[in-house]
Chains A and B, each alone.
Chain A
Amino acid sequence: MIEAVYISDTNNNLVYEYLTNLASANFNSLINIINDRQGIVDINANQSVYLYPINSIVIYTLVDNKVNPVLPYVFIFKLMEVIHDYFGKPIAIHKIESNNDTLTLLIDQMLDDGIPNITDFNKLRDIVPFKSFLSKILSKTNEITNATITKQPPLEVLPWRRSDVKYTNNEMYVDIIETVNVILKNDKKKVRTNLDSAFYSTNTFNGKLVPITGNIQGKINFLSHLTGLPHLQLSLNHKIDGSYHQCVENTNSSVLKFIPPDGSFELCNYCIDLNELPKNQQLSSLGQVNVEYNYGLGKNKNEFEIKLYLPIKSGVSKIENLSVEIHLNFNGIIKSSRLTHGDFQFKGNNKAEWNLRTISMGINPILYGSIIGEDKDEDDEEQEQETSEILKPNYIKLIYSNKGCVPSGLKVENLKLLSSKGMPETVKPFKGVKYITKTGDYVVRS
C-alpha cells in the first residue's frame, strides 16, 4: 500500500525518507519524474506519488494504485498530526532533521509492511516515548510512571487515548471556529438609482447585497489536559450535523458525551450550506462585518465605493486583521481617492489592498477609489470622451477574524466532567471556551 514516505524542502532537496523495504524507490530516483508537479504523479502503471506541500516542506507518499485514492492524503494528515504532537507546531525542516530518529520510530509504527497501522498520536505516545534531550529527569519519571502503569489495563482499551495521563494542572478548552465562504452580488437596480449621489451617500446598510452561494465551515477543536480517564459531557445550544471524532458516543443530539484523547484534537466538523437557509437568515449568518459596495460611479464611471459597517454586538469587542482586497480582471491601476481608516496600497498584479488591521466595533470605515485602465495613456482623450463602458473591479474580497461569537450562533451551554477514573475528586479542571470567526472566500462581485 504505502511504500515510502519522503519529506523534502520546496527545492526538492531530500530532508527525510522512510522506505518500507529495500525494494522501495528512494527519493532521488523519483525526483526527476516528480519534478515540480503537484497533486498526484504517476510513476508507472502500479505506483503513484502523492504530494502535499505545507509551509516550507513537501510531504510525499509512494503508494501502489490499488488503494483508496484518498487514503494517502489522510495518511499524510495523520503524519502531520503526529509530527505536530511530537515536535510542536509548525512543522519545519530543522525539527525533522534533528528528530529523524524519532520520526523513523514513529513511521515504523504507523506503517507495518506498508499497511497503515497505529496512526493515532495518543496511542503512539505509549509506544514511542518522546524523550527530549534535556529530560534526564523526565525520562526517569517516565520510567517510574511506566512502572506504575504496568498494572493498569492495557492500552487497547481506548484506542484513541494513551494510558498514563497525569497532569497537575487539569484543564480543557473548547474552540469553536467557523469560516465564512460566500459570494455576494450587488442588487443591480439600486446601483443605477444611486449613480450620482454616491460620493456622500448617507444610506445605511439595508441589505443591498444578495448572496449567490455560500457556506460556513465549522469545527470544534478540543484540548484536554486531564488526568486519568475523564468522561465528559459537552452541551451545545443546538444540534450540529457533521462528522465527529471517533470518541464521541452519541452523534444525534446537542449533548455530546465522550472520553477525549489526550492533547488537542478535532472533536467535530460541520458545514452549513447558506443556500439551504431561508433568505432572511442568510445575511444575518455572515458574521460581524457588513459591506456596502458600489461601482461605476463618477463622471467616467470608473470609481467605486466600499463601506464597511461594524455594528456593536455584545461579546465582540474588535475585528482583527480586517482588510479588503480589490481585484481587477484586466490590466489597470487602482487608486484611492478618499479613505477614513487604514492604509490603501496598490500591489500590482491588478490587485489592491485596503488594510484596516484591528479595529473596534461601532466604526464605519469608507473607501472611495478609482480605476485607470492600462491603455488609457495611449489614447487618453478618445477614452475620456467615449467611455460609456464602466470600469469596475472584478470582485472585492473581505478578510477578517473576530473572537467572541460565531456566525451560526453555536454556543457551548456547559461542559461537565461526568466521571473520571484516576483523578482525585477534589480536582476541579479549568474549563475554557473560545469562539472564533474567520473568512475564507468572502467575495462581493461587481
Chain B
Amino acid sequence: MFETAKDLTIEAAVSASARLADTPSSARPAEISKLLNSRIEKDVSNGMKCVISMMSRDDNALPYFADVVKNITSNNAKVRNMVMIYTTRYAEIEPDTALLAINSIQKALSDKNPNTRSMSIKSLSAIRISSIAPILQLCVKRTVTDNSPLVRSSTAIAIGKVYEIDKQGSKQLFEYLAKLLADTEPMVVGTAIKSFVKIMGQTELSQWKWSMIHGHYRRFCKLLPEFDEWSRSIAIDLLTDYARLFLPRPKLYVGEESIDIPETMNGFPEEYDVTMDSDLELLINSMSSLVKSNAPFVLFSIVRSLVSLAPSKTLKQFNIPTILCAMATDSENTPINLFALQAISTICEFDKTLFQSQYRSLFIFPSDSVDVAKTKLDILSSLVDESNVKYIIEELKYNAIESWDLSVASESIKAIGRCSQVSTEWNRKILKWCLNNIKNAKGEALNEFLTVIRYLIQVQQQMKTNEATKNKEISKIVYNLSLILKDSTLKLPSDAIASIIWIIGEFTKECDNEIAPDVLRVLLKTFAEESENVRYQTLILASKLYSISLDEYKNSQGDSPEQIDEFKSSNIISQMFSYAITLAKADPSFDTRDRARMIDVLLNGSNNSTELASLFLQVPKSAPIMSSLTANNVQGKVLGKFFKVPDWQDTTTLPPASIRKELAVQENKLTASIGSKVTASTITKKIGELPNTKHSVSSLHYNPVKKNDYKLESLDDFFGDESEEDSDSEDVDSDSEEEEDDEEDDEEEEEEEEEEYEDDEVEEEENDEDEDDSDSSGIPQQQYEEVSSDEEESNLLEK
C-alpha cells in the first residue's frame, strides 16, 4: 500500500520538496551554517541538501567546509554520503580540515552494512591528499579481503585512485589489484578490469600491463558473459589488444595455399578454411552469446574485436551485418545511428560482401539527418556490384533529383559517379543520365554533375577499348555538352558554363578537334557580355585549340618560320585565337589580361616557347578524386580511432602459450568457511581497532619517505572545548585517556595479530595448493615468478 501511495505521490512530493529546498538559499550563508550546526537531524539534512545543490549549480560551497565535515559522524546514512561527496570534492583545497574527517570515514569501514563499507573506501580513496597515502594503503589491504563483493569492487577502483596520489606504493597496490583480478566473484573481476585498464591507460607500462593479464586471459574469456555491460566492453577491448600482441595470427586456407589472415578481406575468395589458436577461438566463442545483449557499445567492442581478429566468415556467423543495419535504422536511438553506419562503412572496407544483400536497409528516409544520409550514400556507392547496381542507382537517382536537401542531392550525384566503376555499360548509362539531367540541375548539384561527367569521360578515356569507338563515345558527349551550351533557354549559371567550356577544350583532341572550334566561334561573338570566368575559360579554350592545330600543322607541313607565319595568317583557328587574345588583353579582369599576355608571348614567340605552351596546355589532367566521405564527420573520426588495434606480432617472437596457463582463483572473501584460522569475527575486530592504530602500523610497514607527523585527532577532540584543545593532546579528559591506554595495548596486539594473520595467509595458500592436486604444482611457482618479475618492474618504476 505504501508503495502505491509512494508511486501516486511522487509528482506531489517532487514539487513539494522543491519548495523545501528553496527555503535556505545560497543567498543566506549564515542560515546554512546554522542548519549544519543544528542538533536536529532534519536540519542538518536540509543544510547538506543546500550545500550539495550549491555544488551542483557550480556555486562555491567551500566556505562551509568545517561545518560540513563535522557532520561525518551523523547517524543518517544519506547525510553521511552527502558529506563524503562534499569532502572528496574539496579535500584538496582544505587538506588540514579534511584530515579530520578521515578518522570517521575510516570507522565506517567496520560497519555491518556492506553499502556503508563500500561508500567508505570509495570516499576515503577519493581524498587526494598525498600524506594519507599510507593509511589508504592499509585500508585497501583490509578491504581487498572484505567478504562483500560490493566492497571488493569499490576497492578495485579505489586502488586506481590511491595509485594516482601514491606512485611509490604502486608495487603493493598492483599486488592487491592482481588479487582482485583473480577474485572468485565475476563482479569484482569485472570492476578490477575496469580499474586496471584505467590505471594502465595513464602510464606507459605496457610490458608490466600485459604480464598481469597472461595468467588471466582464459578466465576472463570465460567470465565475459557474467560481467556487467561496462566491464564486458572494456574486457573485450583489452582481450582483443592482448590477442593481437600475444596470439599467433590465424591462417586462412584456400585450396592448398595458406596465408595469414589479411587486414582486409575484400576480393578474397569466398570459400576458405580457417585455423586459429585455441586461445583466440576461446575469446571469439565467448563473445558469440553477447551479441544478443542490448547494450550497443558492447556490440561495437565485439565488432572491433572481430574485424581485427577473425575472418569475415565469423562476422557473418555472429549476424553482425543484420544487427548493425537494425541499429543504424533504429529511429529511437538516433545518436547511435551514425555510429552504426560508420561501423558498417568500416566493415565494408574489411569485406563489403557482408552487406551486399542488405543494401536496401540503407536507403535514405526523409527523417534522416544530413550526416546519416551522406554516410548511407557513401556506403551504398561502395556496395555496388553487378547484382544490385540497378536498384542502388535507381535509388541514388531519386535522391539526386528529388532530395529535400541540396547537399544530399549533390552527394548522391557524387555517389552515382562512384557507381560507374561497376561496368562500362553502366558508365555509359550514367553519363547519359547526367547529360539529360544537367538542364534541370541547379547550384551545387550542377557542379557535381559536371564533375561526374568529367570523371566519367576520363574513365572512358583510360579504358582499354579500341581507340576509334572510345573517341566516338567521347565526341558524342562533348557534342551534347556543346548543345547544352548553345541552348539559350537554359540560363545556366556562369560557373557551369565555364566548366563545360573547360571540358570541351580538354577533350577536343578526342573529338578530332571538330566540335570545339565551333563552340569557340559562338563564344567569341558574345565575349563582352559573358561573365568573368566564362571569358577566362574562353581564352583558355582558344589557346588550347590553337596550340593543338599549330602542332598538327607543324607535324604535317613542317615548322619553318615562314610556314608558321603562313599558318597564322590563313588558319581560321589561328585567327580566332588572335581575336580572343586581343579581346582578353583589354579585359577588365586583371587575371584574364595577365593570362592573355602570357599565352600571347608563349604561343606567338619562339619555337621553343610554343612547345612549352603546348606541353602545359595539352597535358592530360588527372581524374577528379571520387573520394569516399567516410570519417568526414566526428563520429567517423572517433570510431576510427577506437577501431585502431595494435599490429599482429611476428609469430617467431611470441611467448609460448604456456604463459596463459590459468592462475589460481583467489579466495579473497575471508570467512570461516574457507577453513583458515582467520575468522570473520577476528577481521571485524581488527578492522574495528584499525582507526586507533593506523599511524603506528603504517610507519612500521611502509617507512614513509617523509616523516609523517600528523597526529590524527578525533573530531570530538577537535570540536571540543577551546581550553582542552589548547592544551597538549596528552592532557585530555578521562575518556580519551582510556582510549590512549587501549591504543597502546592494541598496538601490540595488532602487531601480533598482523603476523599471525600473515602466517595464516601463507598457510591458506598452502592449503590451496594441496587442494589443487589436479593442477600441476607449477601454478604457485609461476605465481611466484610473476611476483618477482613484478618486483623488478616496480623497482624500475620507482627509479
* Residues on A facing B (Cβ under 8 Å): 1, 14, 16-19, 21-22, 26-28, 39-42, 48, 50, 52, 65-66, 68-71, 73-74, 87-88, 94-95, 97-101, 103-105, 108, 112-117, 119-120, 126-129, 131-135, 137-138, 141, 150, 154-156, 159, 166-169, 179, 181, 183, 212-213, 215, 217, 225, 241-246, 251, 266, 268-271, 273, 275, 327, 329, 394-395, 397, 440-441, 443, 445-446
Contacts and interface: CB of A to CB of B under 8 A. Distances in A.
Given A98-B14, A329-B402, A113 B361 contact: no
A159 B195 contact: no
A169 B6 CA distance: 13
Contacts of B191: 115, 117
B294 A101 contact: no
A215 B361 contact: yes
B294 A266 contact: yes
B157 A213 contact: no
A18 B56 contact: yes
B57 A269 contact: no
A273 B402 contact: no
Contact of B58 (A28, A126, A134): A28
A138 B5 CA distance: 9
Given A117-B191, A131-B78, 7 more contacts: A21-B126, A97-B21, A271-B325, A271-B326, A275-B360, A275-B361, A440-B367
B297 A244 contact: no
A113 B58 contact: no
Contacts of B237: 68
Given A42-B634, A68-B237, A181 B331 contact: yes
A91 to B, nearest CB: 12
A424 B153 CA distance: 35
B246 interface: no
Contact of B300 (A70, A87, A116, A129): A70
B201 A69 contact: no
Interface string B204-232: 00000000000000000000000011100
Contacts of B366: 327, 395, 397, 441, 443
B85 A115 contact: no
Given A126-B115, A131-B78, A329 B404 contact: yes
A139 to B, nearest CB: 10
Contacts of A112: 122, 154, 157
22 contacts: A21-B89, A39-B338, A40-B635, A65-B641, A66-B201, A69-B339, A88-B11, A100-B53, A115-B195, A119-B228, A129-B78, A132-B14, A135-B13, A138-B5, A159-B228, A217-B326, A246-B229, A268-B294, A273-B322, A273-B325, A397-B366, A446-B402
A20 to B, nearest CB: 9
A113 B17 contact: no
B4 interface: yes
B326 A246 contact: no
A168 B85 contact: no
A436 to B, nearest CB: 13
Contact of B363 (A70, A74, A213): A213
B117 to A, nearest CB: 12
B361 A94 contact: no
Contacts of A42: 634
Interface of B: 1-6, 9-18, 20-21, 48-49, 52-53, 55-58, 78, 81-82, 85, 88-90, 92-93, 112-115, 122, 126, 128, 148-150, 153-154, 157, 160-161, 185, 187, 191, 194-195, 198, 201, 228-230, 233-234, 237, 291-297, 300-301, 319, 322-323, 325-326, 329-332, 335-336, 338-339, 358, 360-361, 363, 365-367, 395, 398, 402-404, 634-635, 638-639, 641-642
Contacts of B16: 132-134
Nearest to B42: A136
Given A70-B297, A115-B194, A243-B292, A445 B82 contact: no
Contact of A48 (B17, B81, B365, B638): B638
Given A88-B11, A105-B78, A73 B6 contact: no
A143 to B, nearest CB: 11
Nearest to B3: A167
A166 B3 CA distance: 8
Given A68-B233, A70-B300, A167-B3, A132 B13 contact: yes
A137 B126 CA distance: 35
Contact of A394 (B53, B325, B365, B404): B404
Contacts of A132: 6, 9-10, 13-14, 16-17
A22 B154 contact: no
A440 B293 CA distance: 24
Contact of B114 (A19, A65, A154, A327): A154
Given A131-B78, A243-B293, A26 B14 contact: no
A98 B293 contact: no
Contacts of A1: 198
A135 B326 CA distance: 45
A183 B160 contact: no
Contacts of B3: 166-168, 225
A313 to B, nearest CB: 25
A40 B633 CA distance: 10
Contacts of B642: 68-69
A445 B398 contact: yes
Contacts of B4: 167-169
B57 A154 contact: no
B161 A113 contact: yes
Contacts of A154: 114, 148, 150
A363 to B, nearest CB: 27
Contacts of A69: 300, 339, 635, 638-639, 641-642
A14 B57 contact: yes
Contact of B18 (A27, A94, A275): A94
A62 to B, nearest CB: 14
A87 B14 CA distance: 7
User: Taking each of A42, A98, A135, which has the highest tally of chain B beta carbons within 10 Å of its own beta carbon?
Assistant: A98
A70 B17 contact: no
Contacts of B297: 68, 70-71, 73-74
Contacts of B300: 68-70
Contacts of B113: 150
A181 to B, nearest CB: 6
A128 B84 CA distance: 14
A93 B634 CA distance: 29
